[in-house]
Amino acid sequence: MAFASIIAFGYRYSNVLNMASLKEQNKCHDVTHRVISLFFRQYDLPGQIPSAIGDLTYLKYLTFRKLHNLTGPIPESLTKLKYLDFLRLDWLNLTGPIPSFLGQLKNLTYLNLSFNKLTGGIPDSLSTIPGLKSIYLDRNQLTGKIPASLANLKLNGLYLILSHNNLSGELPPAFAGVDFEKLDLSRNKLQGDASLVFGKNKSTYYIDISRNQFEFNLSKVEFNESLTTLDMNHNKIYGSIPKAMTGLELQSLNVSYNRLCGEIPVGGRLQSFDYSVYFHNRCLCGAPLDSCK
């Protein structure tokens, strides 16, 4: 099947979603006139996402963003969009759960539901989408545990962004085997051992686990040199800063407000950060903090 054009692009200049007209175009046998992309942004589009969207059979890219008057649930008719690759419904006022039926969108590679008012848990069904690589569910009101099934998304370079929710419990042990590219779990109520997200053989460049209740021994953590951003502030992390961290090309680091002790190893980029990156720990010392006695 060839998809030759993105004819609905112009609809971004409209504040009326003319489904009747779109459906007419969709019937067209000429592939060059099929609607494959819809993009709505920053217009007054009130009500709910119209369920008639599901009739745009060939849709590949669907974006509704920054439409504060768009509310209600994610419509089940989306499951009819078998070719959907990219689904971005962010900065809306969507409510209700992240529906389990999204797992039927087998061609999805990108899912962004950030900045909504979605509640409930993360459905297991997401892990049945074979090519899903980018998952942005941050800034909602999600609760419950992170499902272990997400570890089945073992593609190299998974983006998993779950920050600013109310997720709780421990991380699934199976995350030890996932090579995230970017992982942001910050500002949840997660607890237990987060050391399993690190590892010598992972190519992760970005890890933010700040503002949770994680508790593990940092001394035992092994790092891969690909890591450039590491934020762990406000947890219950203990032990000391491993010497191996001097070997990282860190652009950003924050281990403040934990229970770390001992001397900050000298070398690499560790002294290029200011004291606020290290302060409020149990007995961490050495530059840029006060010298160890």
Ligand X SMILES: *[C@@H]1O[C@H](CO)[C@@H](O)[C@H](O)[C@H]1NC(C)=O
Start-to-end CA span in the chain (Å): 71
Interface characters, 6-25, with ligand X (x: CB under 6 A): --------------------
Which of 18, 51, 217, 251 contacts ligand X by CB under 6 A? 217
Q: Establish if 181 lies at the interface with ligand X (CB under 6 A).
A: no
State how far the Cα of 100 lies from the Cα of 233, in Å rounded to an integer: 33
Are the C-beta atoms of residues 87 and 112 closer than 8 Å to each other?
yes
Q: Tell me: does residue 247 bind ligand X (CB under 6 A).
A: no
Binding mask 131-150 for ligand X (x = CB under 6 A): ---x-x----x---------
**109 binds ligand X per the rule CB under 6 A:** no
166-170 vs 283-285, strand pairing mode: unpaired
**Residue 90 binds ligand X (CB under 6 A):** yes
Residue 44 Cβ vs ligand X, minimum distance, rounded to whole Å = 3
Stretch that binds ligand X, among 4-12, 24-32, 223-231, 243-251 (CB under 6 A): 223-231
Contacts of 16 (CB under 8 A, 6+ apart): none
Instruction: Work out whether 254 is an interface residue with ligand X (CB under 6 A).
Output: yes
Question: Looking at 57, 77, 226, 228, which residue binds ligand X (CB under 6 A)?
Answer: 226
Tell me how far apart the alpha carbons of residues 183 and 146 are, in angstroms, rounded to a whole number.
13
Residue 272 interacts with ligand X (CB under 6 A): yes or no: no
Strand 283-285 relative to strand 261-263, pairing = parallel
Q: Which residue's CB is nearer to ligand X, number 8 or number 60?
A: 60
Task: Tell me the two tokens of residue 168.
Answer: 């709780």
Q: Cα–Cα distance between 61 and 247 in angstroms, integer?
A: 41
Phi and psi, residue 150, nearest 5° = -60, -20
Contact characters 43-82, ligand X, x per CB under 6 A: -x-x---------------------xx-x-----------
